[in-house]
Chains A and B, each alone.
Chain A
């Protein structure tokens, strides 16, 4: 057995990583919960957001945390537009088509980034990137602590918005009973697009939180997307609270399996867990969504 002096920092670091997974997954699960589709373009949008945050810093000198305030609305608009004017009309109401359209978008976005910026890996140098915070005997990187807090704040804000605003209620109504919502005068196409926009805004915030400690290249989002799928399935497709818990859980599992098995196998651990969960319990560990 490992001593607690190694174990506790590993768990805390896992929680920090898991929080970002949770935010990426939150966007995905929100879209799934309402539109009942898996957005295969999610990872590509995350990559695009990482590039946007990177250039906001390198060209405009904007700190990623400040850039988030601008990028979140921008990506909301992008997501809204994608769903309203591309995915919705192109799909002709068939789930199979939506799968293909989001896959096509993913391929196009990711490779447009590759074409424009080449495969070079870029990083930013922020003065506070290596600052640490001491907590329970563990030294935690400051940007990761900030990310952890920000994710909790975003999740809380989202929960409040879903619970108490009219738009939130409309989104929940459409998720529960699309036809009924339509009959009571809710503009379903608009609600779909708003949901897609919110999911995409989550990705933009996640990108800004990641940038101080992560790198940017045209494949950067991919590392997160299958993890996010795992989190979404584990948390119960469409469940916001489930995504949050499952994200933290996966972060800890990754951190611990990295500790015991080494880095490269830690990655496989996630995939294996994903396949097992899909096969054995597709309704998720925490969710009860029908």
Chain B
């Protein structure tokens, strides 16, 4: 149970925030950070644990978002049901792309490229297809009832985002401790050796991609409910693919808490950038890009790695049990 303690502590701590403040600025900031943490956790499972760096997680985010929104707007499906179907659709897209890509043996740069290309194809299709509202976008009708997954205050949204992140933390922690998790790490470290030892690496990667896509799609579906508006650039745009990988890499790639830590740092950085320069376009992304380069250069194991280093340096109190760091 010791493994679960940090997760419990982090979630309880975050759950106390609405007790301390109901400021919509603070809660809005945290909702976005949690959203990115969730999306990033999806990327982290595939990229961090299985070593498959996707540059196109927007494909799953956008599918989750659009399916949730379109089911409500065009087919009158209940928002909560739409939310669940959106996640399933994201997982299905992940599995489909994974099946195509992994069976043709694409990895490394090729994998990054082809995931990027899939996301771009979906973006272009969404920007012309009538069902997504093409250039106009999709607007979910305002209906502030809990049954419609819409709320007057930000607190329920915050709670839901926190529950989703908590689930993702527990899930990834459980995977990390499982045989499947060991397979993922084996694929990352030496795929040929893993194969030689009898691991069905294609299947393992496929499983990781489907779960990863489901988590990221949950983020997209939540986004749709929170902002009630989507267009092709939001849903399938490169921004979310970048944030999805930035959070875990800054926080600590291949660690349970990496995406959450990274998401908070990334969002803090972008808020600070806005304070300094107002709403000048592009500056937050300039910072993201530079931070990405700097982290890879100077702290390739992210914040979690830095913490692990500090702990072992000032040793005594260090717990013997912390993931891969």
Contacts and interface: CB of A to CB of B under 8 A. Distances in A.
B293 A101 contact: yes
A218 B282 contact: yes
A6 interface: no
A146 interface: no
A104 B293 contact: yes
A104 B243 CA distance: 11
A214 interface: no
Given A101-B296, A115-B283, A107 B289 contact: yes
A90 B296 contact: yes
B53 A100 contact: yes
| Most interface-central of A95, A104, A113, A275 (chain B CB within 10 A) | A104
B114 A111 contact: no
Contacts of A89: 297
Interface in A241-290: 264, 267-268, 271-272, 274-275, 278-280, 282
B128 interface: yes
Contact of A38 (B109, B286, B293): B109
Contacts of B114: 275, 278-279
A44 to B, nearest CB: 9
B113 A38 contact: yes
Nearest to B123: A271
A11 B269 CA distance: 50
Given A104-B292, A282-B104, A115 B286 contact: yes
Size class of the B contact interface (CB-based, 8 Å)? 35 or more
Contacts of A90: 293, 296-297
Contact of A114 (B101, B281, B296, B300): B281
A141 interface: no
B245 A100 contact: yes
Contacts of B104: 278-280, 282
B51 to A, nearest CB: 7
B292 A100 contact: yes
B242 A279 contact: no
A89 B113 CA distance: 23
A280 B110 CA distance: 13
Contacts of A101: 292-293, 296-297
Interface in A19-73: 37-38, 40
Nearest to A106: B289
Contacts of B284: 111
A107 to B, nearest CB: 3
A77 B110 CA distance: 28
Interface string A111-125: 111110011000000
Q: Which 6 A-B pairs have the closest CB atoms?
A: A108-B289, A104-B292, A107-B289, A90-B297, A114-B282, A111-B282
Interface of B: 51, 53, 55, 100-101, 104-106, 108-110, 112-114, 116-118, 120-121, 124-125, 128, 242, 245, 249, 280-286, 288-293, 296-297, 300
18 contacts: A89-B297, A90-B293, A99-B55, A100-B293, A103-B292, A105-B289, A107-B285, A107-B288, A111-B286, A111-B289, A114-B285, A115-B283, A226-B120, A229-B113, A271-B120, A275-B118, A279-B101, A280-B104
